[in-house]
Structure formats: structure tokens, C-alpha cells
């Protein structure tokens, strides 16, 4: 079998990589492609190209409106090529085709949104307290951006970084995860086709110990935008001590979904299933902790059990498949370890908890529900990044809130109730960057997202994201015709 070969995209050209590694199809466990392993020298070339382009006439002389048109064109190309990009993402990550097609088609709206905002973020004029002065605040691009994304939802997670960065006038070096980088390396073709100047967007992949470390510590990088796990984030923060780059971190979560007895249980059950089993649970906002009111627990768990066991597991390229494999074998091993520890420590298995018998190849794991009355169980505390739902019970609203906030994470949350006052109280008091009420996993380019605590620093998405890719410059202009007084003459 001939493996498909991919290349890094540096300074407007696709390189022939000096070193490569094999990418594995998670549905079969077999290699299907070779990926470039970017070296420190490759990173240097990409960052230097981005820095050179930042100050070049080809990029710096573009008006904000012209940059916006490039972004709109890129969004149109993403939509036109969503099918091909989706097939690559499904092949390289195992995420089912029905999800990748829908999500990538929506990614085009993010580029269009930031394309429209490119010429609408403004500086300001200050009513200064000095009559002989006129002061304005300019917003200028912060510089070269290092954007680092994981394999899951990578085109979406790239768009919320590339969109505002390019709209603000920055140039970018985007590092795709070494796990499943195919769709982003193919996306580089669309960047080129859209007409972005060479060097304004560079896309590569490689390993953290050389490629990632060099990129996030590079002296020409002024801004780091990272999505991934807390341990990698800590390494990046240490790296940025070298260049003092402004850094935002969108990390993981252990998101609670609170279901009160007055909720629409059919709707809540569907949302819970979608929140934890969509993308095989490999989502930073996965609703992995279910908090259910005791009076409805038995009924609600029975609904979830039947829904989980009815999920169609299979080939992720088959549109009929409802859940595919995990992306890597190490992820499955981590889940198996935590589930085993949780059951040994008192958790009760409701369903799943094993590899599906009818899928011996690939990295499959069955939809799993654990009744975890003890909030100290590993499955409750640890982010598993897989299709495992931990169930806790509460009796009062105060207890539900305490359980929801009993985590070092704080990315997302869900509340299901028909009591409007209760919904407002919970939304106010839950410590999370996103609170969904009577829904889950809704996103929009207009809405910022980000976390509390171990779920990260800063926000992505929405109008204000552009400002995070700019820095202010204060311009003082003396408007008096009178000469400046001699400072050494006493008056």
C-alpha cells in the first residue's frame, strides 16, 4: 500500500520534508499517510518568513478591507472544499464523517465573520486633560502569532485563531498536532488559493520537544494562542518566558450537566448523550459529569442507558455511523486505566466499560456510563477525553451548584430546568466560561468562549478577539502654535 504524503507549508510553498512519520487510521490501526516532522530549522524558516512578511509591502500595505476580503474568500473556499477536508479529518482522526462535514462547513462562517470585522475594529480619540494636546490610540498588529492546535476540531480551533489574527494584520505560524494533521496541511492549499501573500500564513506539524518548543519560545514570536491539555500549556508558559509572548490558553474541562426534576427529560437526555458521546467524547466541552436530581435518577439513567446502547458504532467514513474510534491508542489506554480504577473504588458500571466485541481493529471504546456516587472517584476528577459519563446525584439546588463547581476546571456547563429563576441563579453562580441552559454544545462566531481555573486563560471568538491580536500605540500631537516654554526658566 502506497502511503499518501503530506508537506509543510512555509513561505508560500510546500516543502519536501527531510524527516517524516507515519499517521495511523484510528478505525483500522494501520498507517495510511506520511507526515512531515518539522525540525527547529523548519520552524525558524517559518517564523522568519512570517516576520519578514509582517513588515513587507505585500502584507503591511494591504488595507484592513483588503485583508477582510481575503478572509471572506478563504471562508468560501473552506465551504466549497468541506467534503474533501472532512474526509481527510475523518481518515486521520476517526471522527465520524457526519460530524466533520457539518462542522467544517460551519467553519467558513468564522472566516467570513472576521473578514467582515477586519475594517471595523477601531482606535480611539481621547478627551485629554491638556488643552495643547491631541491624543489618539492606534490599534496595531501585535506581530507574529504562533497558533498551536490539537487534532480534535482542528479546523474550527484554527479558525478562531487565524480569523482574528489575520483580520488584525498579524502573520501566523500554525502548528497542527502530530496526531491527525492531514486536514490542516490540506487547508494550506486553500490559503494559497485565496491569495494570501507568501509568508503571511505558514502551516506545519511536528513533535513538541523540538517543533513545538522552538515555535513557542522563538524570539520573533509576539503572541501564542494554544488549545490543548494543561501539561502542555504549562510547558508553553515556561517557553514564553524566553520571548515574553502574550499568551492565551484554551484547555480541557470536566464540564457538569445539571438536570433538575422539572426539566424536559427527553430533551435533556438527548443533550446529555450528544454532549458526551458526540466525537466519541473527544471534545474539550464534553459534558462528562452528569448531576441529576435524586427523584428522577433511576428514570433518567434508564433513558441514557438505552440511548447509549443504541448508538451505532462503526466505520467513521460511513454516514450511518453514530460513533467512531478514539484518535490514538494511548487515549484508549488512559480511559481504560481510569475506568478500571473508578470501578475498583466503588463506581457502578451502568453500561459500556470495554472495547466493542465487533470492532477488534482500530481504537474503539464503547459508550460508557458510571454511577459514581463518590465525587472523589478518578472518573469524576480526571478529564478522560473519551465517551465516559460519570453520574452524581443531588437533592437540593445548593448541592447541585456545589457539585458543579467541585472541579479545578471551568470551561463549559449545562443546566436543564423549566424554572426560569433557577436557571438564572445557576447560570450566575456556576464557575465556567460557558453556561448552556436547556441546550448543549451550541457555538457561534459571535460568541466568545474560554475557561476558568485549569481550563485556561483568555477568550476566543466574538468581536473582542481581534483586540487580543493588537497592541495599543498612544500618539500625542501638540496642537498649540506657541513655542514650548524653556523648562529651566522659572515662572
Q: Grid coordinates representing 311?
A: 448508538
Domain ranges of the chain: 4-251+451-475, 256-437
Angle, CA 462 vertex, CA 458 and CA 464 arms, to 5° = 65
Residue 395 has a pLDDT of 98
- 14-33 confidence digits (pLDDT tens): 999 999 999 999 999 999 99
User: Count of alpha carbons within 13 Å of 356, Cβ hemisphere only?
Assistant: 24
Pick the catalytic residue from 48, 99, 250, 383.
250
Please indicate whether the domains covering 4-251+451-475 and 256-437 agree at the CATH topology level. no
Looking at the structure, give the CATH architecture of the domain made up of residues 256-437: 3-Layer(aba) Sandwich (3.40)
- Is 250 annotated as catalytic? yes
Residue 489 has a pLDDT of 85
Question: What does each C-alpha distance from 60 to 168, 170, 171, 232 come to in angstroms?
Answer: 11, 9, 10, 33
Percent of the chain with pLDDT over 70: 100
Sign of CA dihedral 204, 96, 100, 380: negative
Nearby residues of 24 by Cβ (< 8 Å), 6 or more positions away: 30, 31, 32, 328
Residue 111 has a pLDDT of 98
pLDDT band of 491, cuts 50, 70, 90: low
Three-state SS at 33: strand
Q: What is the CATH number of domain 4-251+451-475?
A: 3.40.605.10
Name the pTM for this structure. Answer: 0.95
- 276-290 confidence digits (pLDDT tens): 999 999 999 999 999
CA distance 212 to 199: 19
Residue among 440, 439, 429, 435 at smallest CA distance from 399: 429
Q: Grid coordinates representing 225?
A: 494562542
Residue 169 has a pLDDT of 98
Amino acid at each position: 500500500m502506497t502511503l499518501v504524503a503530506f508537506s509543510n507549508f512555509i513561505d508560500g510553498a510546500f516543502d519536501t520534508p527531510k524527516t517524516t512519520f507515519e499517521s495511523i487510521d484510528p478505525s483500522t490501526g494501520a498507517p495510511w499517510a506520511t507526515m512531515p516532522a518539522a525540525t527547529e530549522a523548519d520552524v525558524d524558516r517559518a517564523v522568519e518568513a512570517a516576520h519578514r512578511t509582517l513588515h513587507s509591502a505585500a502584507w503591511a500595505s494591504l488595507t484592513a478591507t483588503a485583508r477582510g476580503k481575503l478572509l471572506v474568500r478563504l471562508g468560501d473556499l473552506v465551504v466549497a472544499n468541506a467534503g474533501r477536508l472532512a474526509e481527510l479529518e475523518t481518515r486521520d482522526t476517526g471522527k465520524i464523517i457526519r460530524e466533520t462535514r457539518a462542522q467544517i462547513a460551519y467553519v467558513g462562517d468564522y472566516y467570513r465573520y472576521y473578514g467582515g470585522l477586519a475594517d471595523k475594529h477601531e482606535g480611539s480619540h481621547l478627551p485629554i486633560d491638556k488643552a495643547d494636546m491631541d491624543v489618539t490610540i492606534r490599534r496595531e498588529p501585535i506581530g507574529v502569532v504562533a497558533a498551536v492546535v490539537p487534532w480534535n476540531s482542528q479546523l474550527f480551533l484554527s479558525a478562531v485563531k487565524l480569523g482574528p489574527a489575520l483580520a488584525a494584520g498579524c502573520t501566523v505560524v500554525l502548528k497542527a498536532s502530530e496526531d491527525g494533521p492531514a486536514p490542516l496541511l490540506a487547508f494550506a492549499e486553500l490559503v494559497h488559493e485565496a491569495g494570501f501573500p507568501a509568508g503571511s500564513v505558514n502551516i506545519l506539524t511536528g513533535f513538541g520537544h523540538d517543533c513545538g518548543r522552538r515555535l513557542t519560545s522563538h524570539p520573533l514570536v509576539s503572541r501564542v494562542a494554544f488549545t490543548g491539555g494543561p501539561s502542555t500549556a504549562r510547558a508553553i508558559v515556561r517557553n514564553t518566558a524566553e520571548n515574553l509572548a502574550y499568551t492565551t490558553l484554551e484547555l480541557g474541562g470536566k464540564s457538569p450537566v445539571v438536570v433538575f426534576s422539572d426539566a424536559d427529560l427527553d430533551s435533556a437526555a438527548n443533550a446529555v448523550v450528544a454532549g458526551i458521546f458526540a466525537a466519541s467524547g473527544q471534545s474539550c466541552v464534553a459534558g462528562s459529569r452528569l448531576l441529576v436530581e435524586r427523584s428522577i435518577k433511576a428514570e433518567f439513567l434508564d433513558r441514557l442507558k438505552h440511548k447509549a446502547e443504541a448508538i451505532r458504532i462503526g466505520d467513521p467514513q460511513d454516514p450511518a455511523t453514530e460513533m467512531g474510534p478514539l484518535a490514538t491508542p494511548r487515549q484508549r489506554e488512559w480511559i481504560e486505566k481510569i475506568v478500571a480504577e473508578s470501578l475498583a473504588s466503588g463506581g457502578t458500571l451502568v453500561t459500556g466499560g470495554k472495547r466493542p466485541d465487533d470492532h477488534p481493529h482500530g481504537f474503539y471504546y464503547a459508550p460508557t456510563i458510571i454511577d459514581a456516587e463518590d465525587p472523589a472517584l478518578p472518573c469524576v476528577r480526571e478529564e478522560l477525553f473519551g465517551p465516559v459519563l460519570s453520574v452524581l446525584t443531588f437533592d437540593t439546588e445548593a448541592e447541585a451548584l456545589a457539585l458543579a463547581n467541585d472541579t479545578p476546571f471551568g470551561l463549559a456547563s449545562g443546566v436543564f430546568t423549566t424554572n426560569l429563576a433557577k436557571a438564572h441563579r445557576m447560570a450566575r453562580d456556576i464557575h465556567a466560561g460557558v453556561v448552556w441552559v436547556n441546550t448543549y454544545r451550541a457555538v457561534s462566531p459571535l460568541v466568545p468562549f474560554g475557561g476558568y481555573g485549569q481550563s485556561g486563560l483568555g477568550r476566543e471568538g466574538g468581536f473582542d478577539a481581534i483586540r487580543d491580536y493588537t497592541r495599543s500605540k498612544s500618539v500625542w500631537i501638540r496642537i498649540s502654535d506657541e513655542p514650548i516654554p524653556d523648562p529651566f526658566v522659572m515662572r
